[in-house]
Structure 1
Amino acid sequence: MHFLITGASGTLGRFIASRLSNDGHELTLMGRTPPAQAGTGFQEWDLSDTSVSLPVADALVHCAFSHVPGKYRGGEGDDPHGFIARNAEGTVRLFEAAKSAGIRHCVFLSSRAVYSDTGNWAVLTENAETRPDTLYGQVKLVCEQALESLCDDGFCGTSLRATGIYGCPPGQSVHKWSDLFEAFVEGRKIAPRLGTEVHGDDLADAVALVLEKRPGEGTDYEVYNVSDLLLDRQDLLKLYAGVKGMTANLPGRGAGPVGVMEPGKLKVLGWAPGGMTRLKAFLETLS
């Protein structure tokens, strides 16, 4: 099949493009510069483009997001209006262009940030309240709603609400915890934290799965949670210290409560994330 992918040079997009390419699909990567990935097509495109024309394809996977480097929540910096224009308005234009081009399925990489701050260990199913308290979450929710509004018998939409993504993206040696592990090895003070995580390969599995399963279901629009581990930074660093054969002062336990995402809908389709086994295997690659 032929898939268009935006943001394929970013952290999430690299995992997804690599997986779909390895599965033998034809890919056209959309962005500002030609990709380094061999065997893929390229179309120049930017979220700021006011006119979007897309080639014929079976599906579009939209991963691109414009933000301050290193930040998602708070990624608007001192330009919230530009942040909204690029990410919300630019995404809506992209979805509309996909439908006009006859593309039948659009997969949107959304975020757990669309949920309200529960503060009570709530289990967050896809039906949980969406009342985001950040501009990032608000923009993601607006994009979800725009995609749903476009869906009909000929155009299918899927939003994947992903939690934090760990792992080294294909072609890169740095990852989301690189600075954290460096600070830990150097003995610097580490702030406690508790959060939810999923490996980038498991996210890519989720994308591949919905691309395979959803078009034949006859449902116009669906939302899926993508989350695997509830992970305390103390436990993560204890595992890392064991892999490195080092002793170090661990941070305290992260303050709860947090909302725990339930990916049961995705598991019904056959999704099976790697859990602690995959986390430990990843850490061992860093030794």
Structure 2
Amino acid sequence: MAVLLTGGAGYIGSHMAWALAAAGHEVVIIDRLSTGFRDAVAPFARFYAADIADANMLRQIFRENAIEAVLHFAGSAVVPDSLRDPLGYYRNNTLASQTLIEETVKAGIRHFIFSSTAAVYGNPPTDAPVTEACETRPENPYGRSKLMTEAILADTARATPGFRYAALRYFNVAGADRLGRAGQSTRNATHLIKVACEAALGLRNEIRIFGQDFPTPDGTGVRDYIHVDDLTMAHLKALDYLRAGGESLPVNCGYGRGASVLEVLRAVETVAGVSLPVVFDARRPGDAASVIADPARAASLLGWQPQHPGLEAIVETALAWERRLMAERLQAAGRRFADGASASGRYCIIP
């Protein structure tokens, strides 16, 4: 069937396009390319360079394509940025999503999968694995903007016969496509594994660790890391679930076990064969000691079973992608000096 994939030029969306195609679906992508990259768009996809907040463009897409489901990845996802620009996050994550949901319903499309986040849980009061029944109390505009969209979806589903959704709450997504077709190319990334891989290749002078006095085995924060390929498979399972008549629901996407910051860095050092430049700093306000998913619902209701668990498996693919980016940056720099043109696109030189 034909699927509309929003944010298909971004990190997770670009992986999702390949997974959808492998499952036999036709892929239509809309992305305004504010943080995504044109060359990350899968070559087989029909692409619209536009904003999901543009209702007229959405209507055109629905007229021109026999869309049967929407997978919504478009949005802003950097917590510190959301603190600096809350209105921008509510506009881009919540208001734009409301427009997308409204036009989806008007077009008679009944299946909707939303890229949500574990940030909706905020700082869990205990170190126990987080279930979907845990209280949602986001502590920043990013998490609140996502939770507001979940509320819009829930209210819409109650008011619209036949409309059903799945809100997939991501924990810490990392890694890259094992075939090298997609990876995380975000400029000035803040994700730990990507930062560590960049440092391993000499692209960062230091890795700053915030807090070494948490009540964890080594004093650093513990998080649940999930390989991006397992995450895309969870979306395919959610799509099958909705098509089979499953009820609307939120679903945690994680492995149910965590790794500390120092464990992540040791894994990168092992895979890369280098020592990383680490600097310790004070805790940041609001950082939780441990946030780990309880993925039982994904297993029982969606039938999802991860295929790439293990920190080193994640790091291997992430590092391979960074090496590819580094090689292409060097090629772009060579062309710049050869013809006087500036390197552009995702392969920018990192100072």
- Mapping 1:13-162, distance limit 5 Å: 13-32=13-32, 36-49=41-54, 51=56, 52-53=58-59, 54-55=61-62, 56-65=66-75, 67=76, 72-76=78-82, 78-151=84-157, 152-162=160-170
Change (3 A) 1:121 1:7: same
Give the match's secondary structure for 1:107: strand
Give the match's secondary structure for 1:123: coil
Shift of 1:153: 3.0
| Contact residue 123 and residue 261 of structure 1 kept, 8 A | yes
Amino acid at match of 1:283: V
Give the match's secondary structure for 1:241: helix
**Are 1:238 and 2:266 an aligned pair?**
yes
Counterpart in the other structure of 2:303: 270
Amino acid at match of 2:149: C
Q: Deviations over 1:182-236 (max 9, x none)?
A: 43576845414422211110110000001112232352x2110001241112112
Larger Cα Rg: Structure 1 or Structure 2? 2
Change (3 A) 1:142 1:250: same
Counterpart in the other structure of 1:183: 199
Shift of 1:139: 0.5
Change (3 A) 1:87 1:104: same
Shift of 1:174: 4.6
CA–CA distance in structure 2, aligned partners of residues 208 and 218 of structure 1 = 14
How many residue pairs were aligned? 280
Change (3 A) 1:260 1:248: closer
| Contact residue 183 and residue 190 of structure 1 kept, 8 A | no
Which segment drifts farther, 255-264 or 139-148?
Answer: 255-264
| Contact residue 11 and residue 185 of structure 2 kept, 8 A | no
Q: Which has the higher helix share?
A: 2
| Contact residue 224 and residue 254 of structure 2 kept, 8 A | yes
Structure 1 unaligned spans of 5+ = none
Give the one of 148, 158, 171 matched to 2:182.
171
Shift of 1:148: 1.0
Change (3 A) 1:188 1:78: closer
CA–CA distance in structure 1, aligned partners of residues 86 and 316 of structure 2 = 40
User: Percent same amino acid among aligned pairs?
Assistant: 27
Amino acid at match of 2:273: G
Q: Deviations over 1:8-47 (max 9, x none)?
A: 0111101111100122210111123667422221234314
Counterpart in the other structure of 2:292: 260
Q: Deviations over 1:84-115 (max 9, x none)?
A: 12221110110010011011100000000111
CA–CA distance in structure 2, aligned partners of residues 249 and 41 of structure 1 = 43
- So what's the TM-score if we normalise by structure 1? 0.86
| Contact residue 124 and residue 262 of structure 1 kept, 8 A | yes
CA–CA distance in structure 2, aligned partners of residues 116 and 144 of structure 1 = 15
| Contact residue 74 and residue 135 of structure 1 kept, 8 A | no
Structure 2 unaligned spans of 5+ = 210-219, 321-351
| Contact residue 11 and residue 184 of structure 2 kept, 8 A | no
- So what's the TM-score if we normalise by structure 2? 0.71
